[in-house]
Structure 1
Amino acid sequence: MSLTTMPVPGYGRTVPDPPGRPAVGLGTTVRQTFSGSPGRLRLIAIGAVLAVLFGAVVGAVALKARSDALSRASSSATHLLRLQGVQTNLAQADADSTNSFLQGGLESQAQRENYLSSMEAASKDLALAARHSQADAEALGEVNAALNRYSGFVASARANNRQGLSVGASYLTTASDLLEADVIKPLEERAAADQRAVDDAFADAATYRWILVLAVVVGIGGLVAAQVAVTRHSHRYVNLPAAASTLVLVIALAGAAVAMTTAQSQANDVRTDSLRPALDLSTSRVNAFQAKAQESLTLIEQGSATDEDPLWTPKFDAARDLATGEGAQELDAYAEQHEKINALDVDGAWRSAVRQATSAADDSANAHFTKYDEVTQKQLESAEAKTTQDLAGAGDALVPTAIVLLIIGLLCAGGAYWGVSFRIDEYR
């Protein structure tokens, strides 16, 4: 008996795979992600995160920028005070050299030592000041060269004077003119540039508060707007993570505002209470020493004295206008003695005028001027120390505050997204 095998329909033919799902493009995925209420909530969450990060980052930038501006102000102020110190030392050295010249070969050892120490201090500070910038290096390099020529003329004047040679007076006059034109004037120009730099730095520091205001408006405003939008979609009025993030960010930005305001206030106080008095004292001393030197130079140039005393008077007036307290009193007492010296010179009693101008008696011009020097030097040292210390520390809290603000900003951004994600989950 045989079996008949029936062929199976379709046996041996290739059966195609069932059709798959069509590929989904990136654009479609994006549209699906941000479509409907869940998609809009995702956009709100991203907007809240960006607003918080903007507020934190921009706020931190504002804090760091103000810190940098105050650092520039401190650096420029320190350099300015150093240049003023150089001018004072050089004016003092010139006053000592001219007054001791009047004594001929019997120059005061104390004045000689003061001259040398003043020149040494000026040279050291000049070298330090030249490192501040390229412009300072170039300008102060020329000043240093002129200062070397000045000291050479003074040495020649002293040598000729000890031998009784009249040419010494010519050397000394040349030295004083050189000091005024090629040393003091360039130093004043560099000091003026530093003063502008200080003013610009303070102005920049004040401007950065508006950047912080922008950070507050965008950061807080963005979070509040996001919560309002979520409330409209979910009809729930409180979103605890988002609300907590808003509160913490408000506190952080308020702390940043306090730190910024405090730093600026401290810097302004230093500028008004320490830097300005220090500059005034320094300027007073420079002019006073120049007046003292001119007193001696007028006597050295016998027969040049007049009742108006046109070269001494403006220098003294400039010094007196900026002097205060005991320093002003001693300067007034010196002026009384100077008027007597000048009157003797005008009347032809030149030797008597020289004796009074070089006297070290308790009520002499030199004694009162020395007291003025001592009093104002102590006041200046105190003001300079306070300026340097307080201005350098005014912005110390700004950078740490900026770092804390960034960390808090990241946490608040996470909290804002977390809060909105609760509402997104309700649609799943």
Structure 2
Amino acid sequence: MTHPPYERPAPPGPSVPPGTTTAPAPPAAPPVAPPAAAPAPPAGRGALASGMTRLRAAATTEPGRLRILGAVLAALVVAFGAVTAVEVAYRAAAADDVVTRSQPLSADAAHIYRSLADADTAAASGFLAGAQEPPDVRKRYEDDIATAARLLVRAAANTDGSSQSAREIATLNEQLPRYTGLVERARAANRQGLPLGGAYLRYANQRMTSYLLPAAERLYEAETARLADDDRDARAWPWLSLAAGLLVLVVLAAAQRRAYLRTNRVFNRGLLAATTAATLVLLWLAGGHALARAGLDEARAHGQDSLKVLNEARINSLKARANENLTLVARGAVLTDDGKKDKYETEYGAGMGRLASALDEAHALADDTAGRAPVSDALRWVGEWRERHTGARQTDDAGDYDGALAKVIGGKDSTGAAFDRVDAALRKALDHEQDEFTRAAERGRGALTGLPAGAGALAVLGAAGAIMGVNRRLAEYR
């Protein structure tokens, strides 16, 4: 038997009364699209514009203006302290270089020149003494060579490798062994009684005067120029710091006047503290630098200038003594370029003239009795040296070579004894002027001690005072 398929009955719906017609359902409303988002402002410009807007809004109110004023005052005071610290630190470093580097190197360069010139003088004196060279003359020569070598090592350690000084030091280190080798050959030939010894000694002197002494002179000039640069940097006025300090004081005064006009209070303690701190920094800066300049000016006028002239005087005395000895060594074999005069005798006369002129200038520069007395002694003995030299030349021209030799390298009445007195007086004058320079330069350097750190600390305190003063006014609006 077949059954019809089974169908699930529909769920019961709402009852509809009989005879009622069912209306069709209205169509569904279409979905409403959300409104389009506004385009975002470009990155950065929106933040800047927003910030400027807030800043303009803040500036229209008194609390906002006070906050801006406090930030400006604190920034100006800190900037003043920073600029002062940097400028003064640079000048303090230059002043320290004058005392500890530039001037000592300049003095070492002059000492190198003097040692080389004195070694040449001692070599000629030892040669004239004959085969048995006096031990003291030999020791003097060896000490001079050792001193020059030691000072060259120290100068090389404190000089930039690419500078002119480094090139001159290299030349000196290269030529010094060649010179000492020629001197040893001259000494060996002289001991054997060979006339070749005189030629070797003249070659040694030629190398000294053509290579070593010019290089030492250029080294001295380079180090003296560096000393002048450091001295000029240390004495330069810190104009930027001074201008910044005056600007800070003007702005702080205007801020205090503004506070007085708006509150009728005479003083704002915070702003007054900031003004005091800025004033102290400015006075310390001006006074300390003025004292530093005074000390460095004194060091230059009464020390450095005198040292330069005295070094020239001593160098000329050593050259004159070497030429005086070589006059007897060469015995007229070396003439001037025109072939009319003895070369060494002519150079001796020129050197003595330069020596006398330098001593006159040094005497004028000396500012106390301790500085003038040794220069006066040197001048007196230069005159005695000239008289004795004239007598020695007259004896040599008369054909008495041994008599002339005794008057040049003999006892207390010789030209050598007069030269020793001149050299001792110049050494004493140099020591005195060196002490004068060092004391004055150290006073100048000491005037700047502590100023960079002090300026920074006072600037921080001044900025804190300015902020506290403004905050005190802000508290009145809360």
Q: TM-score when scaled to structure 1?
A: 0.88
- Counterparts of 1:249-328 in structure 2 under 5 Å? 249-303=278-332, 306=341, 309-323=345-359, 324-328=375-379
**1:380 is the counterpart of 2:430:** yes
Q: Which moved more, 1:205-214 or 1:327-336?
A: 205-214
Give the equivalent residue in structure 2 for 1:127. 153
- Structure 2 counterpart of 1:332, which letter? G
- Counterparts of 1:242-253 in structure 2 under 5 Å? 242-253=271-282
Aligned equivalents of 2:212, 2:457: Cα separation in 1: 52
Q: Once the 2 structures are TM-superposed, how far is the Cα of residue 243 of structure 1 from its aligned partner?
A: 1.9
- Structure 2 counterpart of 1:155, which letter? E
Give the equivalent residue in structure 2 for 1:343. 394
Note the alpha carbon deviations across 1:176-195, whole angstroms, 9 max, x for none: 11112211111111211122
Distance 1:27 1:47, change over 3 A: closer
Q: Once the 2 structures are TM-superposed, how far is the Cα of residue 92 of structure 1 from its aligned partner?
A: 0.9
Q: Once the 2 structures are TM-superposed, how far is the Cα of residue 336 of structure 1 from its aligned partner?
A: 1.3
Query: In 2, are the aligned partners of 1:54 and 1:218 still within 8 Å (CA)?
Result: no
Distance 1:177 1:392, change over 3 A: farther
Aligned equivalents of 1:103, 1:228: Cα separation in 2: 89
Aligned equivalents of 1:63, 1:255: Cα separation in 2: 11
- Which one of the candidate residues 446, 460, 469 is aligned to 1:396? 446
Query: In 2, are the aligned partners of 1:66 and 1:208 still within 8 Å (CA)?
Result: no
- Counterparts of 1:12-411 in structure 2 under 5 Å? 26-74=51-99, 75-133=101-159, 134=161, 135=163, 136-303=165-332, 306=341, 309-323=345-359, 324-360=375-411, 362-388=412-438, 390-392=440-442, 394-411=444-461
Query: In 1, are the aligned partners of 2:304 and 2:437 still within 8 Å (CA)?
Result: yes
Tell which has more relative contact order, 1 or 2 (C-alpha 8 A, sep 6+).
1
Count of aligned residue pairs for this structure pair: 405
- Structure 1 counterpart of 2:318, which letter? F
Q: Once the 2 structures are TM-superposed, how far is the Cα of residue 114 of structure 1 from its aligned partner?
A: 0.8
Give the equivalent residue in structure 1 for 2:15. none
Q: Once the 2 structures are TM-superposed, how far is the Cα of residue 126 of structure 1 from its aligned partner?
A: 1.2
Aligned equivalents of 1:49, 1:401: Cα separation in 2: 20
Query: In 2, are the aligned partners of 1:334 and 1:365 still within 8 Å (CA)?
Result: yes
Distance 1:355 1:110, change over 3 A: same
Q: Which runs of 5+ in 2 are unaligned?
A: 1-46, 336-340, 360-374
Query: In 1, are the aligned partners of 2:260 and 2:266 still within 8 Å (CA)?
Result: yes
Aligned equivalents of 1:200, 1:222: Cα separation in 2: 36
Q: Which runs of 5+ in 1 are unaligned?
A: 1-23
Q: Secondary structure at the match of 1:157?
A: helix
- Structure 1 counterpart of 2:403, which letter? S
Aligned equivalents of 2:394, 2:258: Cα separation in 1: 89
Q: Secondary structure at the match of 2:251?
A: helix
- Structure 2 counterpart of 1:335, which letter? R
Aligned equivalents of 1:318, 1:130: Cα separation in 2: 31
Distance 1:42 1:166, change over 3 A: same
Aligned equivalents of 1:28, 1:295: Cα separation in 2: 91
Give the equivalent residue in structure 2 for 1:421. 471
Aligned equivalents of 1:364, 1:187: Cα separation in 2: 30
Aligned equivalents of 2:202, 2:265: Cα separation in 1: 90
- Structure 2 counterpart of 1:278, which letter? L
Aligned equivalents of 1:252, 1:352: Cα separation in 2: 74
Q: Once the 2 structures are TM-superposed, how far is the Cα of residue 288 of structure 1 from its aligned partner?
A: 0.5
Aligned equivalents of 2:90, 2:427: Cα separation in 1: 35
Q: Once the 2 structures are TM-superposed, how far is the Cα of residue 173 of structure 1 from its aligned partner?
A: 0.8
- Structure 2 counterpart of 1:313, which letter? G
Counting aligned pairs with the same residue, the percent is 25
Q: Once the 2 structures are TM-superposed, how far is the Cα of residue 424 of structure 1 from its aligned partner?
A: 2.6
Query: In 2, are the aligned partners of 1:79 and 1:129 still within 8 Å (CA)?
Result: yes
Query: In 2, are the aligned partners of 1:62 and 1:208 still within 8 Å (CA)?
Result: no
Aligned equivalents of 1:385, 1:171: Cα separation in 2: 41
Query: In 2, are the aligned partners of 1:56 and 1:219 still within 8 Å (CA)?
Result: no
Distance 1:181 1:143, change over 3 A: same
Q: Once the 2 structures are TM-superposed, how far is the Cα of residue 359 of structure 1 from its aligned partner?
A: 0.7
Aligned equivalents of 1:221, 1:369: Cα separation in 2: 66
Aligned equivalents of 1:303, 1:26: Cα separation in 2: 94
Distance 1:272 1:235, change over 3 A: same
Q: Once the 2 structures are TM-superposed, how far is the Cα of residue 222 of structure 1 from its aligned partner?
A: 2.4
